[in-house]
Amino acid sequence: MADELNFKETQIYNEIINDEMMHSIMLISHDKDMLDFYAYKIVCTMFCSSENKPCGVCPNCQKIKHNNMVDVLTYPKDEDVLKSTELSELIDSVYELPFEHSKKVYIINNFSDIDILMQNKLLKTLEEPPNHAYFILKVTNDTAVLPTIKSRCQKILLPKMDKNALIDCLQQNNADIDIISMSVAFCDGSLALAKQYASSTTFAEDVDFVFDLLLNFKKSWQMVDYASVLYNKKDEILDIIHIYLKILQDTTYHVLGLNDLITLTKYIDKLDAIGKQFSLDAMIQMIKDTTLVIEKLERNCNYNTIVDEFLLGILEDKHKWPVT
């Protein structure tokens, strides 16, 4: 499978195979599904009993897949962020020998959300771990991690997944190859977005809506119609925003002649039509404006007002920076 081949080409895979792995690994990505994917591959490779590691089917790989490996401990156990009592429990247990294997692995989710005092409390353990203990820290924002913690870890900035690896992952849960292909084209290498799109019952409809918006929304009197659709899509609005951004991104690539970077090749005629209606400066400003829309959505500002401002912004940017 493509995802297996990609992982086996990484430095961390070779270090595990050659028994050269550092005791503390920091995985860095905004994509939590990617963090889960790589942590799973690392741990399976460490414990896999097959020669072709990680096989995914041996008893150890199966235990890890189903969270039944006693020597692989994941924190926090219940909440999103590690609690002080859990951290104390973790540190105390580090010095206890593994139950079944020669190694014990601690996976800490959302590590960048842990406060500085708790990070500092873990520092000594990371500095002087027992030979059997290994740590995998999942980080979405490495600027929130203490420099002293970073210096004790091997930092791995996770790349975007390629098309074939994404398709392999999605085919495990979704048999509709058309939806899978569309999801991969729009996800911009994000496994989390690809899964989200593939599982959405309105994804194809949302893509059609955004193309219609960019191609046919030209006059202020049309705002009522487009706004009424978006008012009823509050649960899908972030997906729609990401689709909108991806279309603008690939349209800018097309205008600049960077067609090798385009993943929406199926829609190249529509990208060409959008590029003739919006100038490059307008599209760049529209992308910037959309980051503010996302911030307002995250702050739970009035939804209908956000929609109105979003739509009005499209018209304003289009007329402020016209195609010449």
- Verify that 22 and 135 share a domain, yes or no: yes
Tens of pLDDT along the chain (324 residues) come to 445 447 888 899 999 999 999 999 999 998 888 899 899 999 999 999 999 899 889 999 999 999 999 999 999 987 788 999 999 999 999 999 999 999 999 999 999 999 999 999 999 999 999 999 999 999 999 999 999 999 999 999 988 888 888 888 888 776 688 899 999 999 988 888 999 999 999 999 999 999 999 999 999 999 999 999 999 999 999 999 999 999 999 999 999 999 999 999 999 999 999 999 999 999 999 999 999 999 999 899 999 999 999 999 999 999 999 988
Give, for 77, the enclosing helix (H) or strand (E). Answer: none
Give, for 175, the enclosing helix (H) or strand (E). Answer: none
Of the CA atoms within 13 Å of residue 204, those in its CB half-sphere come to 7
- Verify that 145 and 218 share a domain, yes or no: no
pLDDT of residue 282: 96
Q: Which domain holds residue 211?
A: 200-320
CATH code, domain with 36: 3.40.50.300
Is 140 in contact with 110 (CB distance < 8 Å)? yes
Supply the pTM of this predicted model: 0.77
Question: What is the number of domains present in the chain?
Answer: 2
Domain final residue, candidates 159, 183, 208: 159
- Phi first, then psi: give them for residue 120, nearest 5 degrees: -65, -35
Helix axes 237-256, 191-199, angle to 10 degrees: 120
Residue of 55, 56, 74, 73 lying closest to 65 (CA atoms)? 56
300 conformational bin, left if phi > 0, alpha if psi -120 to 50, beta if neither: left
pLDDT of residue 174: 66
Residue 11 within a domain: yes
Residue 193 within a domain: no
- Verify that 257 and 120 share a domain, yes or no: no
